[in-house]
């Protein structure tokens, strides 16, 4: 091995130990590729300039140096993730510990829930599903990770809207707290317990939804769309005392709803830079109608964070209750047993 090859191998090892092992790199992938491409080009130019007449030999030497560097880099990363990483003691697929791409490949048929279920059965409640990722199959995790008073930081998954931000997906705790203060009045225990009129409003919407589903009889129905409009309608009524389509009779069945909301229903992955998620206007409030949010102007044209929840949890709940109706009665009994202060 020549001295240049030794330098290339050493450079790959040091690049991992001194640079890539620190911090997060998921948002800097393009920059990393560009920098390595430029450095590789510099090595190539340097090698062929030594003997311009033997350009092929210079290109071969440059290729060997690049291979030595990348092999050393990825070997160092692999050894670290498998044997030195602080998550090394957690069970899970070895290839998943080596690269998250293994998990992505296993979910290529859009059956990720089945993949996770099989790993849960095989490895237990705590499974290493990525180099720096633990998937927890335990009901106590919600309170431990997201309960009141926790100081956990959000994972890199919440950067899926980057470079745009929202109060739901932001990883900046100060920004999140600032945006959340706007909702503190509406979400406080005192207000929720005394705002009985809102219970009646939501109940009417649920009854309208029930009627729409019943009207289809035994025919299949696209529940995702109905639950999406129910969630938006409930949030609009709760925050602004106004439906998004201003029609009590049509309710959640209205097919010509707010244009921006129709676009939002496609989800964040389809939206572009001019997505209405960053400039959603609140519907006009009726004169004298009460609202739980004292300052709702943050939903008017802004260049900062907005909320964009589409009721996905409701979709899942309705699906499983429809598939396993034997649980409906049990859940209803448990809900009726909950006190106002629970």
Q: Show pLDDT as tens, one digit a residue, over the chain (342 residues).
A: 788 899 999 999 999 999 999 989 888 999 999 999 999 999 988 888 876 666 788 888 899 999 999 999 999 999 999 999 999 999 999 999 999 999 999 999 888 999 999 999 999 999 999 999 999 999 888 888 887 777 888 888 888 888 887 777 888 888 877 877 777 766 666 666 666 667 777 788 888 888 888 888 888 887 777 787 788 777 777 666 666 654 444 444 444 444 444 444 444 434 333 333 333 333 444 444 444 443 333 333 333 333 334 445 555 676 677 778 888 888 888 877 775 445
242 and 199 both lie in a single domain? yes
Domain end marker among 84, 117, 136: 84
Are 221 and 328 in the same domain? yes
Q: Are 15 and 52 in a shared domain?
A: yes
**Residue 280 backbone zone (phi > 0: left; psi -120 to 50: alpha; other: beta):** beta
> What pTM did the predictor assign?
0.63
Based on the domain organization, do 292 and 271 belong to the same domain?
A: yes
Number of domains making up the chain: 3
DSSP 85: S
Distance CA 198, CA 204 (A): 10
The domain in which residue 8 lies consists of: 3-84
Classify residue 47: in a domain, yes or no.
Answer: yes
Last residue of a domain, one of 24, 53, 84: 84
11 with 29, same domain: the answer is yes
Same domain, 234 and 101: no
Contact yes or no for 218/258 (Cβ under 8 A): no
Q: Are 294 and 184 in contact (CB under 8 A)?
A: no
- Beta bridge partners, 127, equal 135
* 200/278 same-domain check: yes
Domain-located, residue 229: yes
Q: What is the pLDDT of residues 193-231, one digit of tens each?
A: 666 667 777 788 888 888 888 888 888 887 777 787 788
Q: 123 and 262 in one domain?
A: no
How many other CB atoms are there within 10 angstroms of residue 230's CB atom?
23
Last residue of a domain, one of 45, 63, 84: 84
Q: Where are the alpha helices (DSSP H) in the chain?
A: 3-15, 29-50, 55-79, 94-98, 100-106, 112-123, 141-146, 173-187, 189-194, 196-215, 223-240, 259-264, 312-323, 326-337
């Amino acid at each position: 091995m020549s001295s240049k090859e030794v330098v290339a191998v050493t450079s790959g090892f040091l690049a991992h130990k001194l640079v890539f092992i620190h911090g997060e790199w998921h948002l800097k992938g393009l920059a990393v590729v560009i920098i390595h491409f430029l450095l590789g080009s510099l090595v190539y130019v340097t090698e062929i300039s030594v003997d311009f007449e033997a350009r092929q030999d210079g290109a071969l030497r440059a290729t060997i140096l690049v291979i030595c560097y990348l092999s050393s880099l990825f070997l160092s990363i692999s050894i670290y993730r498998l044997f030195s990483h602080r998550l090394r003691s957690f069970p899970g697929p070895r290839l998943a510990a080596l690269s998250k791409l293994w998990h992505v490949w296993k979910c290529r048929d859009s059956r990720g829930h089945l993949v996770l279920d099989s790993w849960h059965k095989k490895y237990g409640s705590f499974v290493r599903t990525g180099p720096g990722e633990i998937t927890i199959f335990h009901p106590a995790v919600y309170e431990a990770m997201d309960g009141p008073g926790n100081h956990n930081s959000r994972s890199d998954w919440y950067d899926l809207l980057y470079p745009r931000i929202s109060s739901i997906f932001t990883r900046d705790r100060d920004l999140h707290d600032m945006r959340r203060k706007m909702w503190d009045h509406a979400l406080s225990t005192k207000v929720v317990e005394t705002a009985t009129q809102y219970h009646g409003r939501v109940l009417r919407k649920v009854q309208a939804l029930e009627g729409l589903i019943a009207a289809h009889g035994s025919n299949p129905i696209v529940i995702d769309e109905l639950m999406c409009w129910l969630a938006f309608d409930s949030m609009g009524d709760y925050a602004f005392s106004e439906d998004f389509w201003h029609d009590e009779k049509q309710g959640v069945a209205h097919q010509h709803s707010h244009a921006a909301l129709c676009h939002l229903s496609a989800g964040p992955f389809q939206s572009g830079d001019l997505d209405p998620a960053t400039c959603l206007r609140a519907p006009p409030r009726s004169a004298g109608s009460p609202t739980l949010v004292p300052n709702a102007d943050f939903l008017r044209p802004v260049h900062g964070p907005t909320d964009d929840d589409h009721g996905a949890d409701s979709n899942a709940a309705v699906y499983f209750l429809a598939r396993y109706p034997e649980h409906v009665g049990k859940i209803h009994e448990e809900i009726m047993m909950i006190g106002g202060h629970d």
